[in-house]
Structure 1
């Protein structure tokens, strides 16, 4: 008879979850024993970096990925990074070790008391099997829940369970298959098409789910048939539309009043693949302009249920895009050319303006480069200079939790070794996930990290002015040299002294990871 561990490994193999991101402790070792041929264990030196790497990897592949964490302490270390994965709707399957069953009740060292409660309400599903024989079934549920909900799941397994014998019924899990189909009914589709076709001045708002689901090009076709302006939803973590397309108006501001102002004059707002809305700054006002109707289409039933306004259809946005594209027929008008990029602003005092850095990336990197961005104070400069026309070109920490950028870039590069990947990271952000550089070096990940060093938490300085707190302490971080830090982790590193040197470095095509540090002037996010 097979062991619980052997059946579980076979199930994971059949489901394609053979890359494991982890930082193991003693409770996890029995699960990792005897990993079959074809499995790859990607070690991270901190659990936050582990989850960040897995987040980037799962987003880039579009498939669930396995994360192995240590009991309560390791799971707790990972929770900050997990907030980003939750907001990005990333299907992570987290399997954490637990003390042996007789030791949990007495709260022995490394026991995770009430383990599922620790991760709630972040994860979409959490459990600890009631007995060893139920572990493979519970593992399968964790995988299927992550895939169906597009949200992380969490399974705590006592480590003595892995060596237990699996019952005969346990083998039934190996051939399981669970799929989702969410096409609008004929009546729903007809009504939606009529509302869109009859709108005098429709607008389209696209969420990160559009890019995550591979609907980037379909969204362009729909927008060109609709002929109205297109926005990215507030607090964007993926780019769902080419940012220099003539119909694109940018990312909606993350406040109630400015969103209302932006949508003024539109009788219909169609929101695809996004919550309605993920506000940030508290700027109160009307949710929508007078006379504006909002229709949200999303697979996320929870997002549909909690929206404070409009009507929602819980369905596959891809099916709706296909339906409306067919119903609307040919494009409304010939497409104007893509908008040109303005000249970058100049730096001063020996420091480059971030726009100069981004202009260099735009000119020197291949057009299909994927950018993982965590430089929050330079958002305005980023969108002013970049020209992104390909799916999967942009990743950003979905919940705003710092520490995604470096690990996420490593994960994206591991998932797509044949596509150029660049991490654009601020010096404030870099420290949260710096250990990911070691993983990049160990796996020879073909990754370029452009480190923007301005010596301060620039976004916080902007917020200080916004909130009337100009004298908050703890905002400056002088004395950090990331070239030396990177070299200590085994990553080649250089300092770019001016724009020409930066462009020359970016034109090189190394076969492993590298870090380029650039000193920049302070800018604001908007």
Structure 2
């Protein structure tokens, strides 16, 4: 209850609901439409995490939710503020990150006009990139609506939800009856017949294969997946757009990350397997088709929809009915992937552990040079990286070098953007570190991608978080450059010469270092990984050339 009011307000009732739900960390960049919530703010009970721009705020909440497995709470303006954040909302939706976004709306009595900062059609703006959106019919409905939003965000398939709250609702009298919050438990378990069918297919396969998606790790089944792969002696591939590590990359059964191109998926899997089980995530996330790399004049499009090779039986496990409906696999099972993995460990037959023919070429050891190569940077980073570091990566043109030179182990976390929107890792690592200050979060992001949520540096500094930002700086959006046949024709569209990331970091209160030669690289990285607080290392690297898949 507030100091001035004898009757509990909607604000009082909402804070009580948030306490009961455990949502006491608030990510925000508030405008005046949210300020009434902060009157008499109980700072001793709630942690307020300020961000300087809404895209960074939602990105930080995304990382926090992925670290905790619980819905994160975001409070921003529901009109232009939400508009600023939509790229990060898009990514959170693709990652199926549970999140409750409260969007400030103008006072109810002003909505007959067109007031400043209004959220027109408030629940429509974030669609279709959220699970659900609502707005209260009455002020006293706000707390119950937030409790409902929390439950919707948390249930599989998880995702962000949105509630629009008029600013005057916070100070209206609350419903005299306390909000009833039901205990909603995830009680969905795999159909035993489905488990038996999948196990039968794997046991009958001559060359079984597994494609691992992020939900396996999110549902706590990474160790079970290792046991399943070892029992089957089966290769494990990372799902295309490998947004969350579900299998250690330094394991001998790891075959690499599949490219998001149907022709290359078929080439890799068709040559190695007769049965493939896709565990978690879509089957498959695609980015482009091979024919679109051609610079020849295009013919009338008579090409069929992408398909998977007919010589392999594909089975797909996902907790998303939508992903199941859109699958390219032969059979799809709607079930929690983590529970399916645990169930299959008991049902598959133990196979002889024999070495499989390598499917990846030996990785050459890069040599030092000036300017540095990105491969050399990543190789040195791998030598000083903490064994339990959580890696956040966004390298549209350098992913192959990253995974080759930094084979992440079973205790490493790995997170990347789940969509084509840039900016998640830079902000996500900050949110992750707020939830897991016991682990070093390491961000490996190009200087182009860093610009999208650069403001997260300030939040990292304010909370003195254990985050190391490593920038392979090639002075350009080179993922765009190499789409061009004449790479000079559109230089203004990809050239980022003159961006000094170390100077920018210092401006936000983060220690910034710039490295331009091999001399001192190892020592600088080691110092950045063991520092008390955040550090950014801007490493000048050569143009890596055409990206590899």
TM-score bracket, shorter-length normalisation: over 0.9
Asked if 1 retains the 8 angstrom alpha-carbon contact of 2:208 and 2:275, the reply is yes
Q: Report what 1:516 is aligned to.
A: 537
Distance 2:432 2:357 in 1: 31
Q: Report what 1:443 is aligned to.
A: 463
Asked if 1 retains the 8 angstrom alpha-carbon contact of 2:466 and 2:531, the reply is yes
Is 1:418 aligned with 2:438? yes
Distance 2:519 2:67 in 1: 32
The CA deviation at 1:329 is 4.5
The CA deviation at 1:318 is 1.8
Question: Residues 365-399 of structure 1: CA distance to partner in whole angstroms, max 9, x if unpaired?
Answer: 21111111122211111011012113552111111
1:321 is aligned, of 323, 331, 341, to 341
Distance 1:329 1:520 in 2: 48
Asked if 2 retains the 8 angstrom alpha-carbon contact of 1:245 and 1:337, the reply is no
Distance 1:307 1:190 in 2: 21
1:223 is aligned, of 220, 223, 229, to 229
Question: Residues 173-230 of structure 1: CA distance to partner in whole angstroms, max 9, x if unpaired?
Answer: 2x42112222122322222222222222221111111222222111111111122221
Distance 1:161 1:351 in 2: 58
Asked if 2 retains the 8 angstrom alpha-carbon contact of 1:422 and 1:449, the reply is yes
Distance 1:218 1:372 in 2: 23
Distance 1:166 1:210 in 2: 42
Question: Residues 216-264 of structure 1: CA distance to partner in whole angstroms, max 9, x if unpaired?
Answer: 1111111111222211111111111111222111111111111112121
Q: Report what 2:166 is aligned to.
A: 158
The CA deviation at 1:17 is 1.0
Q: Is there any run of 5+ residues in structure 1 with no aligned partner, and where?
A: none
Distance 2:33 2:424 in 1: 26
Is 1:262 aligned with 2:229? no
**3-state DSSP class of the match of 1:34?**
coil
**3-state DSSP class of the match of 1:162?**
helix
The two structures have a TM-score, normalised by structure 1, of 0.94
Distance 1:391 1:126 in 2: 37
Is 1:459 aligned with 2:479? yes
1:377 is aligned, of 393, 397, 409, to 397
Distance 2:352 2:46 in 1: 50
Q: Report what 2:299 is aligned to.
A: none
Q: Report what 1:134 is aligned to.
A: 141
Q: Report what 1:479 is aligned to.
A: 498
**3-state DSSP class of the match of 1:230?**
strand
Distance 2:81 2:65 in 1: 20
Distance 1:309 1:469 in 2: 38
Q: Is there any run of 5+ residues in structure 2 with no aligned partner, and where?
A: 1-6, 291-302
Aligned ranges 1:45-124 → 2 under 5 Å: 45-124=52-131
Is 1:200 aligned with 2:206? yes
**3-state DSSP class of the match of 2:397?**
helix
The two structures have a TM-score, normalised by structure 2, of 0.90
The CA deviation at 1:20 is 0.7
2:525 is aligned, of 477, 501, 506, to 506
Distance 1:201 1:139 in 2: 49
The CA deviation at 1:346 is 3.4
**3-state DSSP class of the match of 1:180?**
coil
Is 1:238 aligned with 2:244? yes
The CA deviation at 1:471 is 2.8
Distance 2:124 2:411 in 1: 37
Aligned residues: 521
Asked if 2 retains the 8 angstrom alpha-carbon contact of 1:4 and 1:165, the reply is yes
The CA deviation at 1:51 is 0.9
Asked if 1 retains the 8 angstrom alpha-carbon contact of 2:221 and 2:342, the reply is no
Aligned ranges 1:175-194 → 2 under 5 Å: 175-194=181-200
**3-state DSSP class of the match of 1:119?**
coil
Asked if 1 retains the 8 angstrom alpha-carbon contact of 2:283 and 2:328, the reply is yes
Distance 2:264 2:229 in 1: 23
Compute the RMSD of aligned alpha carbons.
2.1
Distance 2:387 2:357 in 1: 17
Question: Residues 288-336 of structure 1: CA distance to partner in whole angstroms, max 9, x if unpaired?
Answer: 2223221111111211122244221111112211211111254541678
Asked if 2 retains the 8 angstrom alpha-carbon contact of 1:378 and 1:525, the reply is yes
Asked if 1 retains the 8 angstrom alpha-carbon contact of 2:123 and 2:134, the reply is yes
**3-state DSSP class of the match of 1:445?**
coil
Which deviates more, 491-500 or 396-405? 491-500
Distance 2:51 2:362 in 1: 39
Q: Report what 2:298 is aligned to.
A: none
Distance 2:227 2:357 in 1: 15
